[in-house]
Amino acid sequence: MSSSSALILNITDLSSNGLGVGRSGDGLVVMVHNALPGETVRARLTEQHKSYAVAVCLEVITTSPQRVEAPCPYFSLCGGCQLQHLDYEAQIRAKAAWLLKALRAFEPLPPLRIIPSQPFAYRHRLRLHRGIDGGLGFYVRSSRALLPVDNCLLAVDSARRSWEELSVFDVPGIWELELLAGKEKEELAVKIFGKNSLPPFSLNQPWRVSRPGEDPDLEQGIVCYQRDGLTMRAWPGVFSQVNWEVNEHLISHLRSILSSDWDKGPVVDLFAGSGNLSLPLAHAGAEVWAVEGDRHACRIGRRLALTNRLQCRFVNQPVSRFLQKNKIKGQTVIADPPRSGMKDLTAVILRQKPRLLVYISCHISALARDAQTAAAAGYVLTDLLLLDMFAQTSQAECLAVFRM
């Protein structure tokens, strides 16, 4: 099939990466950017693989009632969003369907609870790239080519209002910027990734700038959570959740799920970061071990525990090493791994027979893969939560509880 030829396709499904799914006349599965179930589209192939092809939508012939006009002028090119053309309520339903389908081996499933987000202006942390020839922006979809942008609709208002001032960082020697924005305009911090020998920057705003090679300044964090006497802060360049409002729901639900377990031994929080989950649990009365391989995150977590007067033990070790040296039998384990999931570590954890495992994942396929390992070890899925931490994208945060 020629990649230059146009196809007429009936779109019957929406894939978990946000592409419409149809079949060509010879039965080939074709995944189409910017196409929705129920639509008939004219599309052109851009990639051909052994069992499927990828296409770009040239024309929507029959339109889905769930289609909306994407408000971002960069949507057709930018790799950041996949679902702006889909009504937000339909986005939520699609993500729920992807999760339930991925976990169908566990049927009957527990009731799925869903936490939506505000559709736009929710993202407090963004990573911008600088092009070889200058310009700040994001990657073009499915490539490493730079798409210069003059704003992002996902960014919180304080970041969007100050976007033009980011141009001061558009200088040779800078490769990337991580921008962290609070709820007020003056609460802005930037981490620079690039050469160590950069000139001084003339800033019109009181931004907190961390240059290459500098450790996080423990006095300069931005408040990202403040509730019931607990204050947590975030730093650019050190992992924190991007959607602070939905993150509050994650913390609240986790505390509720584990509230009856405080007296059953320590809670072991694996991939703990700077304590996003550990510190609220310690504040609620749990004994917590927070295990994290990144030394900067551990330094921040210990500082936050000290300033909040909490007993929370931070262990600066890779999770695999911690599991070799420590027993977790009968304990409550939380795992919030990177996007790729825990893979073989899942079996390592479950061989020690923790009483329950709370698995938090931003990748539904990785969660489903590791859930199979939990099922094989005799664990039962008892709680399931979907949090739309990343509205307008095909990603979602999921919380699954496995009990013996």
Indicate whether 227 and 168 sit together in one domain.
Answer: no
Q: Which amino acid is at 397?
A: E
Q: How far is CA 395 from the centre of its chain?
A: 7
Tally of helices (H runs) and strands (E runs) in the chain: 8, 22
Computed from CA positions of residues 389, 392, 395, 401, in that sequence, does the dihedral angle turn out positive or negative?
Answer: positive
pLDDT at 318: 96
In this prediction, the residues of the chain whose per-residue pLDDT falls under 50 are: none
55 domain residue, yes or no: yes
Per the structure block, which two tokens stand in for 205? 């705003």
Distance in angstroms (rounded) separating the CA atoms of residues 331 and 264: 7
Q: What are the strands of the beta sheet with 312-316, ordered from one edge?
A: 112-115, 380-387, 397-403, 356-361, 332-335, 267-270, 288-292, 312-316
76 domain residue, yes or no: no
Per the structure block, which two tokens stand in for 394? 């095909």
By residue count, the chain amounts to 404
Indicate whether 278 and 244 sit together in one domain.
Answer: yes
74 domain residue, yes or no: no
Instruction: Give the long-range contacts of residues 64-72, CB within 8 A, separation 24 or more.
Output: 64/36, 64/37, 64/38, 64/39, 65/38, 66/36, 66/38, 66/90, 67/36, 67/39, 71/120, 71/153, 72/152, 72/153
CB-CB contact of 379 with 335 (8 Å): no
Distance in angstroms (rounded) separating the CA atoms of residues 45 and 53: 7
pLDDT at 185: 63
153 domain residue, yes or no: yes
Indicate whether 59 and 157 sit together in one domain.
Answer: no
Distance in angstroms (rounded) separating the CA atoms of residues 99 and 207: 40
Indicate whether 97 and 136 sit together in one domain.
Answer: no
pLDDT at 63: 98
Coil, strand or helix at 248: helix
83 domain residue, yes or no: no
Coil, strand or helix at 70: coil
Q: How far is CA 344 from the centre of its chain?
A: 21
CB atoms near residue 1 (< 10 Å): 13
Indicate whether 263 and 373 sit together in one domain.
Answer: yes
81 domain residue, yes or no: no
CATH assignment at residue 149: 2.40.50.1070
Cis peptide before 108 (omega within 30 of 0): yes
Indicate whether 243 and 340 sit together in one domain.
Answer: yes
168 domain residue, yes or no: yes
pLDDT at 217: 86
Coil, strand or helix at 227: strand
pLDDT at 247: 98
pLDDT at 219: 80
Go through 327-351 and write b for each residue having 16 or more CB atoms within 10 A of its CB, e for each that does not: ebeebbbbbbbeeebbeebbeebbe
The domain total for the chain is: 3
Residue 180's region, left for phi above 0, alpha for psi from -120 to 50, else beta, is beta
CB-CB contact of 84 with 75 (8 Å): yes
Per the structure block, which two tokens stand in for 163? 């976007």
Indicate whether 333 and 305 sit together in one domain.
Answer: yes
Indicate whether 190 and 155 sit together in one domain.
Answer: yes
Indicate whether 286 and 160 sit together in one domain.
Answer: no
pLDDT at 201: 79
Indicate whether 382 and 258 sit together in one domain.
Answer: yes
pLDDT at 259: 85
Domain housing 322: 89-119+222-232+239-403
CATH assignment at residue 47: 2.40.50.140
Coil, strand or helix at 68: coil
Indicate whether 56 and 205 sit together in one domain.
Answer: no
321 domain residue, yes or no: yes
Per the structure block, which two tokens stand in for 224? 């990202």
